[in-house]
Amino acid sequence: PLVYISILVPVPCCFAAAHKPVISVHPPWTTFFKGERVTLTCNGFQFYATEKTTWYHGHYWVEKLTLTAGNTLEVRESGLYRCQARGSPRSNPVRLLFSSDSLILQAPYSVFEGDTLVLRCHRRRKEKLTAVKYTWNGNILSISNKSWDLLIPQASSNNNGNYRCIGYGDENDVFRSNFKIIKIQELFPHPELKATDSQPTEGNSVNLSCETQLPPERSDIPLHFNFFRDGEVILSDWSTSPELQLPTVWRENSGSYWCGAETVMGNIHKHSLSLQIHVQRIPVSGVLLETQPSGGQVVEGEMLVLVCSVAEGTGDTTFSWHREDMQESLGRKTQRSLRAELELPAVRQSHAGGYYCTADNSYGPVQSVVLNVTVRETPGNRDGLVAAGATGGLLSALLLAVALLFHCWRQRKSGLLPPAPGPGESSHSICPAQVELQSLYVDVHPKKGDLVYSEIQTTQLGEEGEANTSRTLLEDKDVSVVYSEVKTQHPDNSAGKISSKDEES
């Protein structure tokens, strides 16, 4: 004999209301011969702590109450039966029929889509039949002389209708059963797709839920879920969870979404209606151009970084950098960010000028204010020029002194030197009879704007000169001075030239 047992297990996949107890019937039919006994069981006690069960027999306006210590009740009367545990709602009714006919058609209390529908043609006192014929809505469905049961696998709403069985006895007796209306119940309704926000802003998250509900009689059946967008783009594999989180959505994620639910065996599959999700984009605003180093001040030869940022704006933003005196862009970047950078590796004086940037996330470019960039001269270059000037002046002075000494030596050698002047007379020759070279001052630490003397030497005449060697150059008007002059560059000398000359007095 076939026995149907309903086991209720809470399933997190479905969104049910308050759990109802469920009545199971044994044997699992709803039509019996009079005098037979049927056992009813009130299932669902895992949801309610109770020790007694209340049974209701009849209609709401005429009911007979029975209180049992357990959750079972044995019955032999036709009618509607309900059960209730303490604190629970009443169960759905079960209609039982106890017939006095000689042949009955037995069907289960509830049949859901995907179940195997079992119909049984049964004769009183198990008298033998030679053949059985089943009809459906007046049409012959099957004729068999081997089995009195009819099995319809994968039942669906297409199997709804009016059934009847006809039995044939040994002496060609014909027995006709009662009519039985069979209605295949929906295992679960079409799911409904819900979203926490159908018009989210870019960058935010959205939670999707695929909501459906299993009946209490089949609450132990696991379901799988899937989510789709436009053209059946699969967003996730089949999962036992009816929820899906989209951590970050962008405008390209807008579209028509729907979900599907199916049994693990895959024999029952249903999908929801579509749900339109429109992701909103925030236009860019507050475009600002900054530099690194800050303030638009940079030393020649160093790197300049142009930083373009926006106060608001979502999605992919195109940043573009410009110079006022140039039509073409200096650079362009498209990225999902509120700021972007452009590097100028080694700036020159020619890079000085006004700069600005634009940002566009498909609503049109927004421009920043112009930022002036100033390029300062490298301090190391000016010091190098000063040092080079000082070195050049020293060489010039040495060369001049060597040439003068060589000239005077040739004249002394050839005897062409003039006689020494008498008292009160002055000599106009650069080669006096007696020449002494004395080092008075050497400047090795020049300052800006000062004259740089690489070396100062004097030539003095006769014994009078020997007696006054300790006097400074500025105090002696009769001495001859040989020196080299180097002028340092002033800060405002943009040409960067260094002047030098040799003088004699």
What does the pLDDT read at residue 20? Answer: 84
Q: Identify the CA nearest to 211 among candidates 11, 14, 495.
A: 14
Burial of 355 (0-12, 13-18, 19+ CB in 10 A): buried
Instruction: State the pLDDT at residue 442.
Output: 42
The DSSP element (H or E) to which 382 belongs, if any, is helix 379-414
- Amino acid (1-letter code) at residue 401: A
| Every domain of the chain and the residues it spans | 22-182, 204-277, 285-376
What tokens appear for 363 in the block? 């609503």
Per-residue pLDDT at 163: 96
Q: Which amino acid is at 36?
A: E
At residue 115, the 3 state secondary structure works out as: coil
State the DSSP code for 341.
E
| Full strand arrangement of the beta sheet holding 38-43 | 22-26, 38-43, 72-75
Three-class DSSP labels, 427-485: CCCCCCCCCCCEEEECCCCCCCCCEEEEEEEEECCHHHHHCCCCCCHHHCCCCEEEEEE
Whether pTM > 0.75 for this model: the answer is no
C-alpha pair distances (Å), 494 with each of 121, 381, 384: 116, 12, 15
The CA-CA-CA angle for residues 238, 241, 245, to 5°, reads: 95
- Checking 403-407 for CB contacts under 8 A at 24+ apart, the result is 404/430, 404/482, 405/435, 405/437, 407/431
What is the per-residue pLDDT across 236-276, written as a single tens digit (0 to 9) for each? 778 899 999 999 999 999 999 999 999 988 889 999 999 99
CATH (residue range 285-376)? 2.60.40.10
C-beta atoms surrounding 320 within 10 Å: 20
Cα–Cα distance measured from residue 502 to residue 505, given in angstroms and rounded to the nearest whole number:
10
pLDDT recorded at residue 10: 36
Q: How far apart are CA 418 and CA 442, in angstroms?
A: 32
Q: Are 105 and 164 in contact (CB under 8 A)?
A: yes
Closest CA to 62 of 75, 78, 80, 77: 80
Domains 22-182 and 285-376 share a fold: yes
- 57: which 2 tokens? 């027999």
Strand pairing partners for 307? 290, 341
Report the distance separating Cα 64 and Cα 55, nearest Å. 8
pLDDT < 70 regions, the chain: 1-18, 45-51, 60-61, 379-505
CATH number of 204-277: 2.60.40.10
**pLDDT score recorded for residue 408:** 66
Domain 22-182's class? Answer: mainly beta
CA angle, 387 then 392 then 395, to 5°: 130
pLDDT at 265 (0 to 100): 85
What is the predicted pLDDT for the residue at 128?
Answer: 84
